[in-house]
Structure 1
Amino acid sequence: MIPIGQKAVYIDLPVQQVEWAKCQTVRQVKVPFADERKGYTRAFERLVLEFSRYMTIHGI
């Protein structure tokens, strides 16, 4: 859930998985707009940075 304003925004994104037969592992396909180390998208990061120009950190 990503709260934006007074509304909760949910992102429902099915992520494909692939199975590597050689090593018997299952991996997720990389999603080009999201950094795998983060729990949010680049667009959301830009939105928060834009808000920070006009709001306090607590307000964001």
Structure 2
Amino acid sequence: MNILKILGMSVVDKQDKYVGIVNGININEQNYSIDEIDIKLNQQSFSELEGTISFD
């Protein structure tokens, strides 16, 4: 999938509830893997504006 198509996509949790939208993607420049995905969180469900999912 083209990485530009991921930006703005909806994010849902394991219970299929809307969490927010993909706001940014941080790529490791050494091996081109995804390090983090930034999410603009749904304001009705979260008190924070943004969250980050980190990958090991």
**Relative contact order higher in (CA < 8 Å, ≥ 6 apart):** 2
Q: Which structure's CA Rg is the greater one?
A: 1
Structure with a larger share of its residues in helix: 1
Q: TM-score, normalised by structure 2?
A: 0.21
Structure with a larger share of its residues in strand: 2
Q: TM-score, normalised by structure 1?
A: 0.20
